[in-house]
C-alpha cells in the first residue's frame, strides 16, 4: 500500500517571518491529515529554521536542488552531505525550472539523483513534457528518456528509496491542470516502465502529480489509481490550502 505524499515546493518564496507563520499553520492542522505524509521544501537559507520548527513532528523537509558533487570549488552550490547535516528526508531533483532555466540535462539530473542517494536523502525525481512536446504527441518518449537516464545510472532498485513526480510543464504555475485521466495515463506509463525492470519496485514507488494542483482539483487527481500524492507549488504557500489538498488525499 503506497502512503500518499503531499509535498510543498516553496520555490524562491517566503521570508523568515512568513515561513514561521506557514509552519505554525501546517503544524496546527497536521494531525487531522495524518493518513497522508507531508513534506516541505524551503529555499536553502531557511533550512535550519525549518528543521528547528519541524523536528519532532511527523512533517518531513528537504530542499529543491543539490549539487552533483560532494564538496569542492563549486561557488554557490549546496552538497548532499550538507542536506544530511540538516536531516533532510527528501530532495527534489530535475524540476523543470532547473532543467529549462539552468540547463540541467537528463544526465546531470541522474548524477544529482545519485548524489542524494549516496547520503541517504530520498530524491524526488521530476519528469514531464512541455506543451509543444504534448502537442507533438511525444509525451511518453520524453518522460521515458528522462526516466531512462536515472535507470541507466542507478538501476531500478534505486527507486526503493525514491519518489517520482510527473509535472507537465504546461500545467506548472499556469492554472491549467492536467485532467485526472491525462495525468493517470502518464503515471500508468511511468509505472509500466518501472515494471518492465522490476514489478515489485514499480508497485511500491510513489508517483506524485504536480502542476496547478489545488484543493479544488486534488481530490479527483489523487483518486486515480496511479497518483500517489502531489508536488504543490503556489498552493503550498498557504497553510489552509496545503492542508486542504492533504485532506483530499486522506
Give ∠ CA 160-165-170 in degrees, rounded to 5. 165
To the query of whether residue 154 is one of the catalytic residues in this protein, the response is no
Closest approach of ligand 13P to the CB of residue 135, in Å: 19
Closest approach of ligand 13P to the CB of residue 211, in Å: 5
Give the position of cell 517566503.
14
Q: Which of 231, 239, 243, 246 binds ligand 13P (CB under 6 A)?
A: 231
249 part of the interface to ligand 13P, by CB under 6 A: no
Q: From the candidates 37, 95, 97, 104, which is the catalytic residue?
A: 95
Binding mask 160-179 for ligand 13P (x = CB under 6 A): -------x----xx------
Q: Over the Cα atoms of the chain, what is R_g?
A: 17
Closest approach of ligand 13P to the CB of residue 165, in Å: 7
Look at strands 5-9 and 90-93 and give their pairing. unpaired
Alpha-carbon distance of 16 to 181, in angstroms, equals 39
Is the CA virtual torsion 65, 69, 71, 73 positive or negative? negative
Applying CB under 6 A, the span of 66-74, 145-153, 215-223, 228-236 interacting with ligand 13P comes to 228-236
The CB-nearest residue to ligand 13P is 233
Which residues, 6+ apart, have CB-to-CB distance to 202 below 8 Å? 191, 192, 194, 195
To the query of whether residue 87 is one of the catalytic residues in this protein, the response is no
Give the position of cell 500508468.
188
Alpha-carbon distance of 112 to 151, in angstroms, equals 13
Please, which residue, 80 or 210, has the CB nearer to ligand 13P?
210
Binding mask 177-216 for ligand 13P (x = CB under 6 A): ---------------------------------xxxx---
The burial of 135, by beta-carbon neighbours within 10 Å (0-12 exposed, 13-18 middle, 19 or more buried), is given as exposed
232 part of the interface to ligand 13P, by CB under 6 A: yes
- Interface residues toward ligand 13P, by CB under 6 A: 9, 95, 167, 172-173, 210-213, 231-235
Residues involved in catalysis: 95, 167
Amino acid at each position: 500500500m503506497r502512503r500518499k505524499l503531499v509535498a510543498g515546493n516553496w520555490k524562491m518564496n517566503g521570508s523568515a517571518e512568513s515561513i514561521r507563520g506557514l509552519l505554525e499553520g501546517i503544524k496546527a492542522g497536521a494531525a487531522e491529515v495524518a493518513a497522508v505524509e507531508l513534506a516541505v521544501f524551503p529555499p536553502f537559507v531557511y533550512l535550519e529554521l525549518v528543521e528547528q520548527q519541524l523536528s519532532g513532528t511527523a512533517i518531513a523537509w528537504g530542499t529543491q536542488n543539490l549539487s552533483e558533487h560532494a564538496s569542492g570549488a563549486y561557488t554557490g552550490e549546496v552538497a548532499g552531505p550538507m542536506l544530511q547535516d540538516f536531516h533532510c528526508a527528501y530532495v527534489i531533483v530535475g524540476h523543470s525550472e532547473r532543467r529549462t532555466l539552468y540547463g540541467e540535462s537528463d544526465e546531470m539530473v541522474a548524477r544529482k539523483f545519485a548524489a542524494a542517494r549516496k547520503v541517504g536523502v530520498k530524491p524526488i525525481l521530476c519528469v514531464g513534457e512541455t506543451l509543444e512536446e504534448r502537442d507533438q504527441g511525444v509525451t511518453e518518449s520524453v518522460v521515458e528518456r528522462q526516466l531512462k537516464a536515472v535507470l541507466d545510472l542507478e538501476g531500478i532498485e534505486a527507486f526503493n528509496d525514491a519518489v517520482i513526480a510527473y509535472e507537465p510543464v504546461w500545467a506548472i504555475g499556469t492554472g491549467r491542470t492536467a485532467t485526472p485521466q491525462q495525468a493517470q495515463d502518464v503515471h500508468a506509463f511511468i509505472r509500466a516502465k518501472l515494471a518492465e525492470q522490476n514489478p515489485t519496485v514499480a508497485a511500491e514507488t510513489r508517483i506524485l502529480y504536480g502542476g496547478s494542483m489545488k484543493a479544488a482539483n486534488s481530490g479527483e487527481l489523487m483518486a486515480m489509481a496511479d497518483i500517489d500524492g502531489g508536488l504543490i507549488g503556489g498552493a503550498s504557500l498557504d497553510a489552509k490550502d496545503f492542508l486542504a489538498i492533504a485532506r483530499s488525499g486522506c
